[in-house]
Amino acid sequence: MPDEILAPEQIQKKVFPLCLRTKDLKNPASLATYLSIGGYQAITKILKEQISPQQLIDEIKLSGLRGRGGAGFPTGLKWSFMPKDIKGDKYIVCNSDEGEPGTFKDRDIIRYNPHQIIEGMLIGAYIMGANRGYNYIHGEIWQEYLSFHEATREARKAGYLGNKILKSDFNFDLHAVHGYGAYICGEETALIESIEGKKGQPRFKPPFPATHGIYGRPTNVNNTETYASIPWIINHGGQAFSDLGVANAGGTKIFSVSGHVNKPGNYEIEMGMPFSELLELAGGVWKGRELKAVIPGGPSTALVPAESIMQATMDYDGLAKIGSSLGAGSLIVMDQTTCMVQTLKRLSYFFYEESCGQCTPCREGTGWVYRVIKRIVDGQGRSEDLALLKDVSNKISGRTICALGDAAAVPVLSFIKHFENEFQYFIQHKKSMMGQQNA
């Protein structure tokens, strides 16, 4: 057979705690606990044996690790973009500004295993020649901000951060910093602006952060889960990580499951597990109801109806095949009673509220979209409204500095594509097809 694609039922994928491996231990976040499971061995070995950055990058490339924040860019490749021969400060930033609705995985890595993030950043700093690092943490999870700050103090005291780390010539210091309520700061250049003490408005690229980042210095920004995966890759080898996943999607992934399931929570599994098994892990659809639709990677990824997602596997290609994407791995599950019109109204309000206001198509377009959906929900929808919604969304998409504009268009287009009849019904009958139940 020319193409050996396995049917979902033939793929054996299991739960595999890698970033969350300390979760069930006593005092999971402490340095002592992390050391007891072999923590900081990777960076110790690297510094002791003076392993070359190029060799480490090759290992990470082999692992198939892709950015876990949503864009899925190959991590090894991204790290190779950092200029080698520029003198002076270089920065690496961990992006824990987790604001994509339905995403709460980085919260748990910080809560249960902060030292693995620190070790991942140490390895990143060593590879990219960075001397300063920040972990930018979502302002809403204040206790995690405080606890990460505590973890950096603990690591510094033990000689893992600061000057002459583990008595080598390697210097790197890391600090916890926080956002304060702006979704856009998850975008890396907006995050850089925020670290500089400014409004979080994305920068036009190029120049890219690799050459002009924080204070105009070379900067690399990676997601929390990406950094936390690195020590395991160095300890076990890139091939072992790659083998955990499937083609184009090496390793494990934490999926945040929320909405209409019996057991909402984070599930760290090998890439490529069929969606149906992940749904079972999350206890199945609540109240014994049927599945209606799922947003598989956060609202910036397209909604898919039950019949497609039940055939899909949880990896980049598996979700691309059904017209969506993995995003940040944030599954929002909706049961048969969900009103798609009211649900879309809430998502549209989110993008309208969180647009930074810099680009006209996004600033104005997200407001239009919200107002049109609101008038449908208020019983004042017009027959031309669906065409108008599609038109406005298409005119936002691709015409803005950052991806928020594209993201705002995604739910509108995918909700209408799969559930147009519900929208038509709402416009004609001035009420939800799903009855009185609130979305």
The residue count for binding other proteins (CB under 8 A) is 57
List the one residue from 93, 182, 244, 407 that touches other proteins (CB under 8 A): 182
How far apart are alpha carbons 53 and 165 in whole angstroms?
A: 17
Q: How far is the CB of 315 from other proteins (least distance, A)?
A: 22
Asked if 264 touches other proteins (CB under 8 A), the answer is yes
The owner of tokens 């690790």 is: 65
List the one residue from 19, 29, 76, 98 that touches other proteins (CB under 8 A): 98
The angle subtended at Cα 365 by Cα 363 and Cα 367, nearest 5°, is 75
Q: How far is the CB of 13 from other proteins (least distance, A)?
A: 22
Q: How far is CA 61 from CA 54, 106, 325, 386, in A?
A: 10, 23, 21, 44
List the one residue from 37, 71, 166, 177 that touches other proteins (CB under 8 A): 177
The smaller minimum CB distance to other proteins, of residues 58 and 150, is found at 150
Q: How far is the CB of 173 from other proteins (least distance, A)?
A: 9
Asked if 260 touches other proteins (CB under 8 A), the answer is yes
Binders in 317-336 for other proteins, by CB under 8 A: 330, 332-334
Q: How far is the CB of 342 from other proteins (least distance, A)?
A: 8
H or E element that contains 105: helix 105-112
How far apart are alpha carbons 232 and 72 in whole angstroms?
A: 19
Binders in 137-156 for other proteins, by CB under 8 A: 138-143
User: Per-residue x/- mask for other proteins, residues 26 to 65, rule CB under 8 A?
Assistant: ----------------------------------------
List the one residue from 34, 40, 104, 227 that touches other proteins (CB under 8 A): 104
How far apart are alpha carbons 112 and 257 in whole angstroms?
A: 18
The smaller minimum CB distance to other proteins, of residues 112 and 241, is found at 112
**DSSP category for residue 321:** T
DSSP-assigned beta bridge partners for residue 136: 95, 177
**DSSP category for residue 287:** G
- Residue 382 — φ and ψ, nearest 5°? -115, 155
How far apart are alpha carbons 364 and 375 in whole angstroms?
A: 17
How far apart are alpha carbons 151 and 153 in whole angstroms?
A: 5
List the one residue from 102, 120, 250, 365 that touches other proteins (CB under 8 A): 102
Token pair belonging to 14: 């299991």
Chain residues that interact with other proteins, rule: CB under 8 A? 89, 98-104, 106-107, 134, 138-143, 175, 177-183, 194-200, 215, 256-260, 264-266, 295, 299, 330, 332-334, 338, 343, 346-347, 350, 353-354, 356, 438-439
